Structure 1
Amino acid sequence: MHTLRFSNFFSFAEETEVSFVLDARSNGAESSFSSTATDRRLSKLLAVVGANGAGKTNVIKALDFVCWFVTKSFFMESGHSLAVKPHAFEASGASRFELEFEAHGKLYRYTLVLNKERVLLESLRLKTSRLFSTLFSREWDAETGKESIKQPNFGLPQKQAEKVKPLTSLISMAEQFGVETAHAIVEVLGRRHSNVGAIGRQAFQAPDVLGAAKFFADSETHRLRMVDLLNQWDFGLKDVRLETLRTMSEGKEEEVLVPFGIHSDGEREVKFPMFAESSGTQAAFVLLADLLPILAEGGTVIFDELESDLHPLMLEPILNLFISQKTNPHNAQLIFTCHSVEILNLLKKGQIMLVEKNERCRSEAWRLSDMEGVRADDNFYAKYMAGAYGAVPML
């Protein structure tokens, strides 16, 4: 479960909240599940919808950045800067994030304030009863040029903590020294797949097809599941086989694992290299290599333009992979942006986030369930297209 609040980040308004938490009126539908740390219900899905340039990618990029910072910032080389910057019209150079998440049945609240040079504030709190208890806090004093680190309940040796690099999370560092809490958090937040980077969506390319082939070669279970799904999605594929071919690269002979699509007319079989298949088939092949391990083990998928290179009717079966307890036994969560707004009628109002840029050139985001007068049985697609909810292109 994730609840992310962030302010002064890229083109966003003063504060924006992205949450998988559903309101108290939500029922026990299959697309949600019960929290293991609270009495709340959590959604498996969250769709981010809005016009081009509204700021949808930045919404999900913020979540991906915080997860990366907590889990991987220790490995960033000294002297490198982070690809994070505040809104162009903001005077402050700092960005603030708050992430509320569950790990192994415990509820944590993480706060991060940083600029391009250093962490200005970092804290981690654990919900122990009705309140949150501080595990550690870290704050930079610009006047004295010194950093204060307090660890009432974290466990990293103080001498090690004081060596933390300016642009490294204390959690990421503590995980390297075997701190149990840090290890549990890194394990959970590290189970994610994202197709967004510093400059936005990372579209699939030819090397991704070969990477997916290697993944499926290492897991026959996932390969069979992939073949079954592609066949269900009516790609005309009977099978996908993996063959090792020899090729020349820079004067040296190398072995490359290449996927082949097997087609049949009922009597004969023919095979085509995956690169000869349609871009939609290749995209689905790569996408399943990313989704299936998260679905099998639990975690979070952060995906920009989920429908890209795919037929719009494929969105529903992809969402169903997350909704079904059979294919998603550990309640993996999917947050995604989408331009195929017909998808709105496949979701509940608490699973739809709308994003719109205001007259001050700042993006504002809100969930449909936060708007007054929106009924659970409304035709969300029709009302959105009619402009009732906002966040539509002004043409």
Structure 2
Amino acid sequence: MLIQFKFKNFKSFKDETILDLSATKVTEHPHHVVTIGKEKILKTAAIYGANASGKTNVYDAFGYMSYYVTKSFNFGGAKDTGKTKVYKKPLPFLLSTASKDMPSLFEVYFTLNDEEGKIYNYGFTVDNMGVSEEWLNYKAETGRKYYPILYRERGSEIAFPKIPKEYRDNLKVSLQDEALIVSLGAKLKVPILETIHDWFFKLHFLDFGSPDLNFILSLQMPPGFEKEPTFRKEVAAYLSTFDHGIVDFNVEEIPSSETNSSPKYRIDAVHQVNGSGETVNIPLAQESAGTQKMFVLYYPLKNVLKSGGVFFIDELNARLHPLLVQDFIITFLDKETNPNNAQLIFTTHDSWLLSSDLLRRDEIWFTEKDGNGASCLYSLVDFKGENVAKIRKDENYAKNYLLGKYGAIPELKKINVVSEKHAEYK
């Protein structure tokens, strides 16, 4: 489970920013909390904020870290071919001369769903030249002190206190400036580094901010969907919870004149015709945006609930009814539907979900930009209102949010599309 994500100098976030899923001492919804050793961890976090306030950049920062861990073994010069692999440079905060040339930092604290219950701390900093620093530490489930597994700093000898000696030479010889030791070590089958890499590999990300991307995603089938009728029935049953007409799917391969090309398929939703035993096929591409979105969500939702991983969704509420979104969130909060303690982190504009009946105060987060264009991230539980009083659990969160009492809303001004200069020609 993710305990804490920290990043700095990435896109609109200039200063150190922390998304903390450690439970605080608030008393509401105790069943939302998972206890692992001395850690009390939340299963969900909702991030609110005005447009362009930085919500998506939190999603992007976590996504960039995951991408770098799982892909960077490919980065840098390939000695056998002389070719250079693509290195995706970080995007630092550009509105400050001090930060634009500084490295970007990414760090996580997490625990695995295993019997040992160790807590891991892994992080790195990257700049235009590659990795400038990397560290991996751990502590026992009930321990206080972290012990180093590896430490690397540009220009210094790499320290491998907990990496078996037989792997160290290969790591040093093969490591490129742009690659992470964890990424390369997983490729070289170093056990502890494979473990860390696999935690990132099991993270799920979905961006629903783009309608075009939603449509493209809806055309991508879950693995095995075209071959397994039982699987298609499972998806149909899942969709029927809100679209009662769908009883099955029909999948047909689209003939192609291209040789050695990947097969393409046409997906039709099979609908029951009211008042008869007949059915009709409707192309999935012609279904509602909400149905397409729920189709896309099925496979990663099933995987993350099975593995106990982390699901990060940007714009969860887009094109979905609030009650359906609420039901989706409750799936993660309910021990019966989420026995492996999977976590859901999502961005949203839906103030209807801002309710003490659904979320704890430490599960609600906001993003806001200051006068210099830098974003900040803060939790409702840490927010102090009038008279420096903390927010109570019996407050109307949605109403107060829309009134601007928690910040993180747009500064509204009169929209004047036609200026006076243009108006005189009317």
TM-score by length of 1: 0.89
User: Contact 1:244/1:255 (CA < 8 Å) preserved in 2?
Assistant: no
1:40, distance to aligned residue in structure 2 (A): 2.5
Residue 147 of structure 2 is matched in structure 1 by: 133
Residue 326 of structure 1 is matched in structure 2 by: 336
1:240, distance to aligned residue in structure 2 (A): 2.6
- Which ranges in structure 1 are unaligned for 5 or more consecutive residues? 142-146
1:322, distance to aligned residue in structure 2 (A): 1.4
Tell me the percent identity.
29
User: Contact 1:195/1:202 (CA < 8 Å) preserved in 2?
Assistant: no
Residue 11 of structure 1 is matched in structure 2 by: 12
| Structure-2 separation of matches of 1:28 and 1:341 | 19
* 1:389 pairs with 2:406: yes
1:222, distance to aligned residue in structure 2 (A): 5.2
- Which ranges in structure 2 are unaligned for 5 or more consecutive residues? 78-83, 385-389, 413-426
**1:195 partner SS:** strand
Change (3 A) 1:96 1:243: closer
Residue 180 of structure 2 is matched in structure 1 by: 169
Residue 300 of structure 2 is matched in structure 1 by: 290
Residue 309 of structure 1 is matched in structure 2 by: 319
Q: Which moved more, 1:347-356 or 1:11-20?
A: 11-20
User: Contact 1:201/1:304 (CA < 8 Å) preserved in 2?
Assistant: no
Correspondence for 2:279 among 257, 266, 269: 269
Q: What do the CA deviations read for 1:316-349 (whole angstroms, capped 9, x no partner)?
A: 1111221222322211111111111211113211
* 1:82 pairs with 2:94: no
Q: Which moved more, 1:242-251 or 1:256-265?
A: 242-251
Q: Which moved more, 1:52-61 or 1:271-280?
A: 271-280
1:1-395 superposed matches below 5 A? 1-2=1-2, 3-26=4-27, 29-35=30-36, 38-76=37-75, 78=77, 79=84, 80-90=86-96, 91-92=98-99, 93=101, 94-103=103-112, 104=114, 105-128=117-140, 129-141=143-155, 147-155=156-164, 157-162=167-172, 163-196=174-207, 204-212=213-221, 214-217=223-226, 223-233=232-242, 235-250=243-258, 256-264=264-272, 265-267=274-276, 268-345=278-355, 346-372=358-384, 373-395=390-412
1:67, distance to aligned residue in structure 2 (A): 2.3
Q: What do the CA deviations read for 1:65-115 (whole angstroms, capped 9, x no partner)?
A: 222222332134644232412100232421112211112321011121110
User: Contact 1:45/1:334 (CA < 8 Å) preserved in 2?
Assistant: yes
Number of residue pairs matched by the alignment: 385
| Structure-2 separation of matches of 1:125 and 1:257 | 46
| Structure-1 separation of matches of 2:20 and 2:228 | 33
User: Contact 2:53/2:369 (CA < 8 Å) preserved in 1?
Assistant: yes
In structure 2, what residue type is equivalent to 1:97? F
In structure 1, what residue type is equivalent to 2:147? S
1:60, distance to aligned residue in structure 2 (A): 1.8
User: Contact 2:76/2:87 (CA < 8 Å) preserved in 1?
Assistant: no
| Structure-1 separation of matches of 2:207 and 2:218 | 18
1:45, distance to aligned residue in structure 2 (A): 0.9
Cα-Cα RMSD: 2.5
Q: What do the CA deviations read for 1:336-374 (whole angstroms, capped 9, x no partner)?
A: 111112111132111111000001110011011112311
1:201, distance to aligned residue in structure 2 (A): 6.1
In structure 2, what residue type is equivalent to 1:89? L
Change (3 A) 1:61 1:215: farther
| Structure-2 separation of matches of 1:202 and 1:279 | 8
Moved over 6 A (4+): 251-254
1:254, distance to aligned residue in structure 2 (A): 8.3
| Structure-2 separation of matches of 1:39 and 1:337 | 28
Q: What do the CA deviations read for 1:154-182 (whole angstroms, capped 9, x no partner)?
A: 23623222231111110111112222211
| Structure-1 separation of matches of 2:196 and 2:228 | 27
Larger radius of gyration: 2
Q: What do the CA deviations read for 1:285-329 (whole angstroms, capped 9, x no partner)?
A: 112122221112221111111122323332111112212223222
| Structure-2 separation of matches of 1:222 and 1:333 | 24
Residue 144 of structure 1 is matched in structure 2 by: none
Change (3 A) 1:46 1:201: farther
Change (3 A) 1:178 1:248: closer
Q: What do the CA deviations read for 1:218-242 (whole angstroms, capped 9, x no partner)?
A: 6666544432231111x23231323
1:9, distance to aligned residue in structure 2 (A): 1.5
User: Contact 1:112/1:121 (CA < 8 Å) preserved in 2?
Assistant: yes
More strand by share: 1
User: Contact 2:206/2:314 (CA < 8 Å) preserved in 1?
Assistant: yes
| Structure-2 separation of matches of 1:189 and 1:219 | 29
1:389, distance to aligned residue in structure 2 (A): 0.7
| Structure-2 separation of matches of 1:228 and 1:347 | 28
Q: Which moved more, 1:284-293 or 1:224-233?
A: 224-233
Change (3 A) 1:216 1:379: farther
TM-score by length of 2: 0.83
1:208, distance to aligned residue in structure 2 (A): 2.6
1:249, distance to aligned residue in structure 2 (A): 4.4
